[in-house]
Amino acid sequence: MSARQRGRGRGDRRRPRNRAAQGDSLVGQRLTLDIEDVAQGGHCVARHDGRVVFVRHSLPGERVVAEVTDGGTGSRFLRADAVEILTASPERRPSPCVYAGPGLCGGCDWQHTSARFGRELKTRVVREQLQRLAGIEWDGEVEAVPGDEEGQRWRTRVEFAATPRGRIGLRRHRSHDVVPVDDCLITVPEIAATGLLGEVVETGVTGVDVAVDSAGEVVAIDLPIRRSSSGGGSAAEDAAHRDPVPNVTETVHVAGRGDRDFAVSARGFWQVHPGAASTFVTEVLDRLRPQPGERVLDLYSGVGVFTAFLADAVGTDGRVLGLEGDARAVQDGQGNLAGLPQASLQRADIGRDGWQSAIDDGLDTVDLVVLDPPRTGAGREVIGEITARQPRAIAYVACDPAALARDLSYAADAGYGVTSLRAFDAFPMTHHVECIAILSRVGES
């Protein structure tokens, strides 16, 4: 699980839009719309005067009054919020969160329906993306992950923002504006119990990053992080000045393989659903079935979660090489692999010039590959490099079904087909979904 900032509210930078090309603004105009099916991104599709409208806070089959939030007379599509429900879906429910709705917090997409139906909506999205982009007909379903309460109280890491007056809150959808909140229903109870969300932070603090580890310990870090210069103290004190963000300990349990603890930065990447890490490691190990003596490549390895469990499986006669681009994650990961001489974790900017040499230096052959790339996916070059080494199987852990489908099509061009694909609801009440695809050479099981 890599040290990217996936699922933490720090999305890719948006390209600036050409306002002139949008024509006269339609923002604020109200449209009566018939909602069609769900689309990727936490909204549903409607049409108005031959133009697609992406409507949040709606459900398939509804008739709504929607207020345009983005777009103009020259736009190819519009964005809108459903502000009045004329004909409700049977799956609609009153939102249990008072901060979910038009113009409010942008963190959740589906508080107005059940976690069960949220998984159905995600299932439709995964199926559509796989079929359209990779020609794959998938008949699976998005599965629940153990550890939430009907889609609530699961998030163990969250970055809160602060208003100019110091109130803690969350950002509006597609906005830097902050909505003050007294609770967030998808966060674990330990976060609400801190009382942080009712406090006013000191001047100059723009937000607070909160992490709750596997033991329930809470770490809260004021943002921006202020690194003071070394005061000439002990080595430990100097190190604290250089990097004031502490580590926390996360435990991963895999049935039949025991528990492992992992040190990870409180601001580093970790799966935010408490059941996700164990679920994903179990799925990868069960499907790949690593054998003693095999050579394994773990790309975007983060702090070495897959690396460590794979090293256990291949034994001291095997070899596991983890590659990760984040320096702090590599440092933590190397410590996490102590006692596993058959495993190593190195820093490499995967997909950039020279990263392939790290593989050549670390492995004489590649039997298995695990990759867990950022939301943008691995891309053609990385998929080509992996498949050229002819591993017997590849496990692809993906947080974006469109990027996954694109990369699966690249793998198919190289002679690798999907033998298993499961999808997991690791981010309930949001549109995000995690998929794990297992690939092998066509004609081999």
Domains of the chain: 1-92 (2.40.50.140), 128-146+248-441 (3.40.50.150)
* Mean pLDDT calculated for residue range 339-366: 95
The answer to whether 312 and 287 are in contact (CB under 8 A) is no
What is the pLDDT, as a whole number, of residue 229? 56
44 carries an active-site annotation: no
What is the pLDDT, as a whole number, of residue 198? 87
Binding residues for S-adenosyl-L-methionine: 271, 300, 324, 372
Residue 390: Cβ within 10 Å count: 13
Task: Identify each DSSP E strand in 150-286 by its residue range.
Answer: 157-162, 168-171, 178-180, 207-212, 218-223, 247-254, 258-265
Residue 303 has pLDDT above 50, yes or no: yes
Joined tokens for residue 200: 């006013």
The backbone region for 424, taken as left when phi is positive above 0, alpha when psi lies in -120 to 50, beta otherwise, is: beta
Residue 6 has pLDDT above 60, yes or no: no
User: What average pLDDT does the chain have?
Assistant: 93
What is the pLDDT, as a whole number, of residue 431? 98
Structure confidence by residue, pLDDT tens digits, 197-232: 989 999 999 999 999 999 999 999 999 998 755 555
State the Cα–Cα distance between residues 335 and 329, nearest whole angstrom. 10
State the Cα–Cα distance between residues 377 and 383, nearest whole angstrom. 10
Residue 10 has pLDDT above 60, yes or no: no
Would you say how long the chain is, in residues? 445
Residue linked to tokens 């119990």: 193
Residue 64 has pLDDT above 90, yes or no: yes
What is the pLDDT, as a whole number, of residue 389? 97
* Predicted confidence band of residue 22 (pLDDT cuts 50, 70, 90): confident
Read off the DSSP letter of residue 122. H
Contacts 24+ apart (CB under 8 A), 35-42: 35/59, 35/60, 35/61, 35/62, 35/63, 35/64, 35/82, 36/60, 37/124, 38/121, 38/124, 38/125, 39/125, 40/125, 40/128, 40/129, 40/401, 40/402, 40/431, 41/431, 42/109, 42/110, 42/430, 42/431
Structure confidence by residue, pLDDT tens digits, 153-203: 999 999 999 999 999 999 999 999 999 999 999 999 999 999 999 899 999
Residue 107: Cβ within 10 Å count: 24
Structure confidence by residue, pLDDT tens digits, 236-281: 455 445 568 999 999 999 999 999 999 999 999 999 999 999 999 9
Burial label, 229 (beta-carbon count in 10 A; 0-12, 13-18, 19+): exposed
The single residue of 44, 97, 108, 399 carrying the catalytic annotation is: 399
* Predicted confidence band of residue 20 (pLDDT cuts 50, 70, 90): low
Residue 436: which of 378, 396, 408 has the closest Cα? Answer: 396
Structure confidence by residue, pLDDT tens digits, 389-427: 999 999 999 999 999 999 999 999 999 999 999 999 999
The answer to whether 104 and 57 are in contact (CB under 8 A) is no
Binding residues: 271, 300, 324, 372
* Mean pLDDT calculated for residue range 35-56: 97
pLDDT-wise least confident of 206-210, 231-235, 294-298: 231-235
Residue 320 has pLDDT above 80, yes or no: yes
* Predicted confidence band of residue 21 (pLDDT cuts 50, 70, 90): confident
What radius of gyration, in Å, describes the C-alpha atoms of the chain? 23
What is the pLDDT, as a whole number, of residue 242? 57
Residue 13 has pLDDT above 80, yes or no: no
* Predicted confidence band of residue 234 (pLDDT cuts 50, 70, 90): low
* Mean pLDDT calculated for residue range 366-389: 97
* Mean pLDDT calculated for residue range 111-115: 98
- Angle made by CA atoms 113, 5, 254, in degrees to the nearest 5: 75
Residue 126 has pLDDT above 90, yes or no: yes
What is the pLDDT, as a whole number, of residue 244? 81
